């Protein structure tokens, strides 16, 4: 069972995704009870907190609490998700969303940017409890 803090961060990801242009809300996959359905599993076995793939748009969202953000398992998850997005970047608009508590936002920007250094055509969105902290394109 995930913590309330984690759940609220996933809800922030979900709110961001439904605000995106041309997103079909019924096709969003998430592990929070407000959204029904299973979430697509990555080839490495990891399951993101939010997954959306439709109409040339691929979004992967992951929420982490302060305690979990820099754990080895979390790093492996980020790499898996970024690799998935990289594999689709020639045919899809790819977005990676990381949601963390506000204390971790600068660290999240730095680490995710480093892990995504070889990903082209990728939008990275860093979200905290107050909404979008930073959103930028990597090309």
Strand pairing class (122-128; 131-138) = antiparallel
Domain count, the chain: 1
* Domain limits for position 83: 4-138
What local confidence, expressed as pLDDT, does residue 31 receive?
82
What local confidence, expressed as pLDDT, does residue 33 receive?
75
What percent of the chain stands above pLDDT 70? Answer: 96
* Tokens at 134, concatenated: 């930073």
What local confidence, expressed as pLDDT, does residue 136 receive?
85
What mean pLDDT comes out for the span 1-12? 88
What local confidence, expressed as pLDDT, does residue 139 receive?
59
Global pTM value: 0.94
Domain CATH for 36: 3.40.1350
Torsion of CA 73, 78, 80, 86, to 10 degrees: -170
Give me the numbers of helices (H) and strands (E) for the chain, helices first please. 3, 6
* Tokens at 77, concatenated: 């998850």
Q: Where are the beta strands (DSSP E) in 16-103?
A: 29-30, 50-54, 57-63, 93-99
Instruction: Give 55-110 pLDDT, tens digit per residue.
Output: 999 999 999 999 999 999 999 999 999 999 999 999 999 999 999 999 999 999 99
């Amino acid at each position: 069972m995930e913590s309330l803090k984690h759940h609220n961060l996933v809800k922030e990801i979900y709110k961001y995704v439904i605000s995106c242009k041309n997103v079909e809300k019924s096709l969003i996959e998430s592990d929070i009870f407000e959204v029904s359905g299973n979430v697509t599993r990555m080839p490495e076995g990891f399951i993101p907190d939010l997954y959306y793939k439709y109409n040339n748009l691929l979004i992967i969202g992951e929420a982490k609490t302060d305690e979990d953000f820099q754990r080895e398992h979390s790093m492996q998850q980020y790499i898996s998700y970024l690799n998935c997005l990289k594999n689709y970047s020639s045919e899809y608009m790819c977005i990676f969303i990381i949601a963390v508590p506000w204390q971790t936002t600068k660290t999240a920007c730095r680490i995710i940017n480093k892990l995504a250094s070889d990903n082209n055509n990728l939008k990275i969105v860093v979200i905290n409890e107050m909404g979008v902290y930073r959103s930028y394109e990597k090309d």
